Structure 1
Amino acid sequence: MTTPLTRARTLTTFPPPVMEARRWISGVTFAADKPLINVSQAAPVEPPTEGLRRAIAETALNLPEAHLYGPDLGLPALRTEVAKSVSQTYNGTVHADQVAITSGCNQAFCAAMISLCGEGDEVILPTPWYFNHKMWLDMSGVKTVPLATGDGMLPDPKQAEALITPRTKALVLVTPNNPCGVEYPQGVIAAFRDLARKHGLALVIDETYRDFHSDSGAPHDLFTDPDWSDTVIQLYSFSKAYRLTGHRVGAMLAAPERLAEVEKFIDTVTICPNQLAQHAALWGMQNLGDWLAGERLEILDRRAAIEEGFDVLAAQGWKLLGVGAYFAYVEHPFAKPSDQLAKDLVQEAAILALPGTMFMPEDDPSGQRQMRIAFANIDRAGIKTLFARLAALVPDGASA
């Protein structure tokens, strides 16, 4: 007899969306002349550069301590490099003791939330939200308060303020956004910082995709404030920048007092970040600046291809709600809800994409009309093919 799960924390949330979508293609055979176009996940599928792979191999062979436990908050050299990089990028001041290295950006979010929230506390998330943020809040007994975005898929600080209660502990922003791709303007970000400070809250800003921002300058001025760490917690991932998704290495920037609490979580869950991954991230930061600049230009070109080629879908009633970094977020013209449409696209068009229902509260009907396209792994030609397949699906019975 299995142990009952009626009180298990995992039952408070939904199955992992990407894993759920992968099950839709299990056992499906795709024609050679119509292979699967997988736009379901925002993760590079190519391996790291040969130089980075060699650096990982040399570290594994020649640095014995890379196979041992390391400091809970990460390698001092990597923390220092991150502080230096952020200070330069944002024209601000960040110190190494304000940096923690984590096992991916998801762990950074979890660590931040557990250091901020207790049972029954509240966190405000703009919708559409990044589903793993919602999942962790569910499993940790924290109430997610959805903040609907408006024009341009941007959150409104005034609307956010109306949602704040005595139980609110944090406001969360993701920019460039997942799932919408939208880059939040500096003024919006600053307004949320001011709002958080006014109410004694944390502003948690997830910048996983900052390396692919369309603006080559600082995306915001949060770090120019000498007191930034009394309010701001920044999250970052090395996975997208250096193709290190499987190595799980991310970062959190926060006050040293906050990181002392985060250290308890890391020590309990992973003890320390992966040592080889940290050396890989450090090598990447020190040696792959020009290469990463080229990757950014390629992603920006794919974004341009989405915008330039969308007319073929617009003619069929599709709407482009947001685009940037790795994502395009769209509204479809079909009568069927997006969760059914996404499954049908596998069979009818050999396309795997995630429905808007995976990024929205169950009681928000807009998710049924929306879909996310993660275009990091399809080039201009692939985008053209994707749009052609979608345009070929005549929306019979579509809603007006």
Structure 2
Amino acid sequence: MIDFIAGPNLSLCELLAATGAVTLVAARWLPAAARPYAAVAASALLAVSTAVLAVTGIRWQLLPVLAGAALALPFALSPALRPLLGRLPGRRLGRRPGEVRRVQPAVLPRPRGGRVRRWLAVAGSAGCLALIATGPVAAWAFPVPQFPEPSGPFAVGTRVVQWTDAARPETFTPDPDDRRTVVVQLWYPARPVPSGAPRARYLGRTEQEARTVRDALAGTAGLPGFLLDGATRARSRAVCDAPVADGGGRFPLVLFSPGSGGVRTQNTAWAEELASHGYAVAALDHPYDSAAVVLDDGRTIRSATASTGDRDADEVLAADWTAIRAADLGFVLDRLEGLDRGEYPGDPLTGRLDTGRTAVAGHSMGGAAALQAARHDARFAAALDLDGFPHGP
């Protein structure tokens, strides 16, 4: 469950590049007097917009647009080059001492009429336009996510923390000394931030982390990672490490567990909306269950959960994984209570979390974990299960 809204399919520069490419193809069919001017103008527009995109980053969706333009370019520019070449002065070439001859300037041959030539031009133009059109279609199918503006009175800050449960062994590894580690992203009410303040990335703290998570998510769907490149470019509405809001009292807590193979940021818009209304939200990455979890030391832990195809065996596995997630949720609440008590000196959220009003939520298997956590831990005053089938006791 990923809750974002799709933004414009093409940026302004991408739209200008596509317009230039289409104009290059169309120039072939304009009146003869207008062809050179249209071709030169379209070429200039395409060159400038492509140069800007080369600096800001060219999305893969624009490659067919540029390919179609490259195919059309020589045919579009040839009418514009003929008059220029026709005005070139002749050259003098010596054949032997004392003898010269004047060579007429090179002139591109004019295409001769004919039904076959015309139909070839029609087919070529149609092919170029079809190639160019795949760019906007791909941009529509794989957009850069745009997140809705939160409706609450608070700005939203976010940060990522990593906690290790020294009392709980990591059951996904054979190392007896390995302990369960979770990565948690917090969203909270923040002070007003300048309009130009950099927004948090959608899929990770850094571009590299975002690409790692993108590739893992794409892999679960059997897709190459570059198709989801828009997700790595996306920015949410929250600001990293923004100062905590002065007003609003103590913030009620909501803990969130994503679906199987999901990641902590999958419900970013939902978390930001709650934070804008005075809640603190903590979303978990569950190592060996989430698609990819990047730890502080740079290690990446990928999902190690997979169904067997046997219904009874899969139910046993699902119950085990749900129990691990529920324990993760309880552990994170322990840490948040400690944070509120001041166990992490200097933390800006100390004294601002109302841990006595805590809800737990989740999607799919995360919803099942939320139900189990609330059933076994009375500190969770409410539970929200988003499309999750209960597993385990």
TM-score range, shorter chain: under 0.3
Q: Which has the higher helix share?
A: 1
TM, length-normalised to structure 2: 0.23
